[in-house]
Amino acid sequence: MFTHFYYHLKHFGVPVSFSEWQTLMDALDAGMAGSSLTGFYYLCRAVLVKTEAHYDRFDLAFASYFGDVETPEGLPEKIWEWLDKELPPIEVTEEMRRNHQQLDLDEMKRMLEERLREQTEEHHGGNRWVGTGGTSPFGHSGYHPGGIRIGGDGRNQSAVKVAGMRRFQEFRTDETLGVRQFQVALRKLRQFTTRMDGTKDELDLDATVDKTCQNAGRLELVWDRPRENAIKVLLLMDAGGSMTPHSRLCNQLFTAVNKSNHFKDMQIFYFHNCIYDWLYHTPTCYQDDYTDTEYVLRTFSPDYRVMIIGDASMASYELLREGGVIDWGLYNDRPGIDWLTRIRRRFEYSVWLNPIPKKYWDWTDGAFTIRAIREVFPMEELTVDGLERAIKILMNKQSTGSALSMVQ
């Protein structure tokens, strides 16, 4: 009877396998859900969800699937109860109160009530749950100081509400995260490379001792392939003004890449908005401290993994016209898009990481140039998930767009 729930979970992006589903069925047969929805919720989650990153999706799926089990009228009542119980204990100073009169409790309750009414009407018993995002003053992980935090001890509440609270939202891997998480992601660049082909020319001491002893003392040498990482990385970072809001994120990635000392070689260059004839050595892009892009294209072997970090947002002439370079006193004979295409042609293992979240790509200021650059490079957003996808791209050549034929 729950088979639909299986597909429902998949639809919400929870990767449930058939064997796990079978395990759940066994557990249900054994009566382990304890005939309560809460018991069923915890059982499902323990058996089907294998990373806290998916807890949130699971909660959403569960809430939307079993949401109607509870009488809808009862729900707002209970939210009212939470509100009274879960007021944030943080004291608000007079000054803050003056600045934020809209955070008055009565006002908030009224707003929340309205919000609930709207949501029910719009979603018809679907996701009418409060706590969907970090920006609303209603919800658990929002950073709206003095806002109403909904969520708390899940002990005596029914499963739908526990799910509705979405306590695990902060673990979604599509969130932007810290250096450590980037490092973990970057390790995957190594995973693929340790098992490389090559001649067996390194003496495997342990295996030799083992073999020799098993031969009761007759020497037998065992040779192995050296396990070294062949990955070479070329990092090109946009240091232009429009990147400033993203500097923290880029710093994190930069630190992570820098700390990942398992690459055979790592080179970092900077550019200002778009890549032209010059790749700078420092983020300040001093005009006399650079390497010719031409030189990089000629001397760096095509097996370099190229990561370009930039918002890809610029004026269209910066990308498409000769002399479009933004820096005063410089002139480029080739338009930026030409250079990008040449880089892409030289380095087949390349990817563009954009700190602007993907959902904004179509309508942000730079939507036009983002679209143009996506014709050349595969683009991923600069999040842990995005980086992981980017690394997959870097491990496999990926052809992109028709732009490869645009040059000459």
Partner 1 sequence: MSKMVQYKGSENYIVSDELRNSVNIAIALGKPLLIKGEPGTGKTMLAESIAHALDKQLIVWNIKSTTKAQDGLYVYDTVQRLYDSQFGDHDVANIKQYIKLGKLGEAFTADEQVVLLIDEIDKADLEFPNDLLWELDQMSFYIPETKETITAKTRPIVIITSNAEKELPDAFLRRCIFHYIAFPEPEEMERIVRVHHPDLEDKLLHQAMDTFYMLRSVPHIQKKPSTSELIDWLQALVVGGVKPSRIKKDLPFLGVLLKKNEDLDTLLTQLYNKTQGRIGQRATGFR
Q: Which region among 44-52, 66-74, 292-300, 307-315 touches partner 1 (by CB under 8 A)?
A: 44-52
The yes or no reply on residue 52 touching partner 1 (CB under 8 A) is: yes
Question: In this chain, which of 72, 74, 125, 145 binds partner 1, going by CB under 8 A?
Answer: 145
Q: How far is 136 from 140, CA to CA, in rounded Å?
A: 10
The yes or no reply on residue 365 touching partner 1 (CB under 8 A) is: no
Q: Which region among 66-74, 183-191, 258-266, 268-276 touches partner 1 (by CB under 8 A)?
A: 183-191
One-letter amino acid at 318 equals E
Pull the structure tokens for residue 185: 């992601």
Nearer to partner 1, 162 or 279 (CB): 162
The yes or no reply on residue 184 touching partner 1 (CB under 8 A) is: yes
The yes or no reply on residue 219 touching partner 1 (CB under 8 A) is: no
The yes or no reply on residue 51 touching partner 1 (CB under 8 A) is: yes
Question: In this chain, which of 10, 26, 68, 259 binds partner 1, going by CB under 8 A?
Answer: 26
The residue assigned the tokens 């991923």 is 380
Pull the structure tokens for residue 322: 């000769």
Nearer to partner 1, 95 or 106 (CB): 95
Number of residues this chain uses to bind partner 1 (CB under 8 A): 59
Question: In this chain, which of 11, 69, 99, 265 binds partner 1, going by CB under 8 A?
Answer: 99
The yes or no reply on residue 167 touching partner 1 (CB under 8 A) is: yes
Whether residue 186 contacts residue 71, with contact meaning beta carbons closer than 8 Å, is answered with no
Q: How far is 241 from 273, CA to CA, in rounded Å?
A: 8
Pull the structure tokens for residue 211: 């073999």
The yes or no reply on residue 155 touching partner 1 (CB under 8 A) is: yes
The yes or no reply on residue 30 touching partner 1 (CB under 8 A) is: yes
CB of 52 to partner 1, least distance (A): 4
Residues near partner 1 (CB under 8 A):
15, 17, 19-20, 23, 26-27, 30, 32, 39, 42-43, 46-47, 49-52, 55, 89-91, 95-96, 99-100, 133-135, 143-145, 152-155, 167-168, 171, 175-176, 178-180, 184, 187, 191, 209-210, 212-214, 216-217, 245, 248-249, 357, 360
